[in-house]
Amino acid sequence: MKKSLLIIIAILSTTSLLVAGCSKAATTIEEIPLVRSETVKINSLGENANYSGEVRGRYETQLAFQVSGKIIKRNVDLGSKVIPGDVLMEIDAKDIQQNVNISSAQVSSAQSQLQLAAINLERYRTLFEQGAVSRAQLDQYQNNYEVAQAAVRQSSAQYTQGSNQLGYSTLVADSEGVISSVSAEAGQVVSSGQALLTLVKDGEREVEINVPENRVDGLRKAEQIQVTFWALPNVTVQGNIREISPIADKVSRTYKVRISLVNPPPGINLGMTANVIVAQTGGQQATYIPLSAIYQTGDAPHVWVIVNDVVTLRSVKVGAFGDNKVQVLEGLQDGDNIVTAGVQKLHEGEKVRK
């Protein structure tokens, strides 16, 4: 009996030790912090960059009516070539014409009233000089004459305004070029100032590209820009940066850039697909990492780098900020695994889980 009790105690002791050991192991696992991480990819600012773009006109004009109305005629299509004076669209001008007719009649009536007032004024001026009428009577006819003059000016102004609006009922090309977009059809009611057509003026051609925000600064320092065209495989044209948009697109977070073409050959047409090759200066390495990965100690920024599941603090040199990211110019290597969340809770040499 005593022997059996000793066996049971031995078994229970062994079990307790095993449970305690497992519990201790579990506790050890739980104590290893779980972190979020990402692998660093370094981009060389000195490498060539390629951007897909589209051939655009140097001067593009959005055309619109200056009056509201219903479109009754559209005389151009996408790609139509136009010259100055060509009528591109017309809107229903019946109401405008009616107003012009009314204004014309008002001008005629006002002019008749002015003629009558002038005759009466002259007659009463003669009578006043003869002493037949009083000064007050003469002043009354002088006032009538001035009122008639004002009525003529007012009705003439209304007639001129109506005539201008009648002219605005036709949309006319102001220069030679090509229609690159059409956004209205006959029967559609449009408002004044609403863009309906895009006219690309004949002349200089450009290429428009979209550049990521981390490439804009390098683009400004480009040593050389070459442009090739998908439809013209044997053509390469030198380019110059003419314009960089100061504001990034809200969705794509890219900047529109216009590249002017130097001595382009014939055959480069609007809408062609272009490839812009940018040779950039330097050789500086840079990458963008989340702002949450930066661990600030004093004035110096650092990043936790994971090596063999152990974190070590590394000093970095940062550049531009934007869109919750920061540019790192020095301190990181391509392929480094860095902590991107919870950096304030870590300690040098601490073991972590990913």
Are 193 and 65 within one domain? Answer: yes
The pLDDT of residue 285? 63
Of 228 and 280, which is predicted with more confidence? 228
Of 230 and 28, which is predicted with more confidence? 230
Domain of 119 in residue numbering reads as 94-167
- Position 152 in a domain: yes
- Position 16 in a domain: no
Q: How far is the first Cα of the chain from the last one, in angstroms, to the nearest whole number?
A: 54
The pLDDT of residue 7? 40
- Position 291 in a domain: yes
- pLDDT-above-70 percentage for the chain: 88
Mean pLDDT of the chain: 85
The pLDDT of residue 147? 96
Domain count, the chain: 4
- Position 25 in a domain: no
The pLDDT of residue 284? 58
Structure tokens given for 298: 């004093």
Q: Which of 279, 309, 329 is the last residue of a domain?
A: 279
Are 98 and 75 within one domain? Answer: no
Q: Please give the Cα distance from 212 to 349 (Å, whole number).
A: 37
DSSP structure class, residue 213: G
Q: Which of 279, 310, 334 is the last residue of a domain?
A: 279
The pLDDT of residue 30? 54
Angle, CA of 24, 353 and 319, to the nearest 5°: 145
Q: Where are the alpha helices (DSSP H) in the chain?
A: 2-31, 94-129, 135-167, 216-220
pLDDT digits (tens, 9 = 90+) for 7-55: 433 443 344 444 444 444 444 445 788 889 999 987 665 567 889 999 9
- Position 214 in a domain: yes
CA atoms within 13 A on the CB side of 52: 4
Amino acid at 293: A
Residue 38 and residue 289 in contact, taking contact as beta carbons nearer than 8 Å: yes
Q: Please give the Cα distance from 305 to 332 (Å, whole number).
A: 9
Burial annotation 197-219 (CB, 10 A radius, 16+ → b, else e): bbbbbeeebbbbbbbbbbbbebb
Residue 83 has pLDDT above 60, yes or no: yes
pLDDT band at 323 (very low <50, low <70, confident <90, very high): low
DSSP structure class, residue 345: G
Structure tokens given for 290: 């989340």
Taking alpha carbons only, the member of 52, 163, 173 closest to residue 107 is 163
The pLDDT of residue 227? 95
Residue 343 and residue 293 in contact, taking contact as beta carbons nearer than 8 Å: yes
Q: Which of 239, 254, 279 is the last residue of a domain?
A: 279
- Position 352 in a domain: no
The pLDDT of residue 14? 43
Of 324 and 38, which is predicted with more confidence? 38
The pLDDT of residue 27? 43
Of 324 and 187, which is predicted with more confidence? 187
In this prediction, residues 321-340 reach a mean pLDDT of 85
Cross-strand pairs, 172: 87
Residue 128 and residue 135 in contact, taking contact as beta carbons nearer than 8 Å: yes
Structure tokens given for 203: 């002349």
Looking at the chain, the number of H-run helices and the number of E-run strands are 4, 23
In this prediction, residues 323-343 reach a mean pLDDT of 87
pLDDT digits (tens, 9 = 90+) for 96-147: 999 999 999 999 999 999 999 999 999 999 999 998 989 999 999 999 999 9
The pLDDT of residue 329? 85
The reported pTM is: 0.54
The pLDDT of residue 22? 46
pLDDT digits (tens, 9 = 90+) for 289-319: 998 999 988 888 999 999 999 999 999 998 7
Are 100 and 142 within one domain? Answer: yes
- Position 117 in a domain: yes
pLDDT band at 190 (very low <50, low <70, confident <90, very high): very high
Residue 148 has pLDDT above 70, yes or no: yes
The pLDDT of residue 5? 29
- Position 31 in a domain: no
The pLDDT of residue 24? 44
Looking at residue 267, which CATH number applies to its domain? Answer: 2.40.30.170
Helix (H) or strand (E) holding 210: strand 205-212
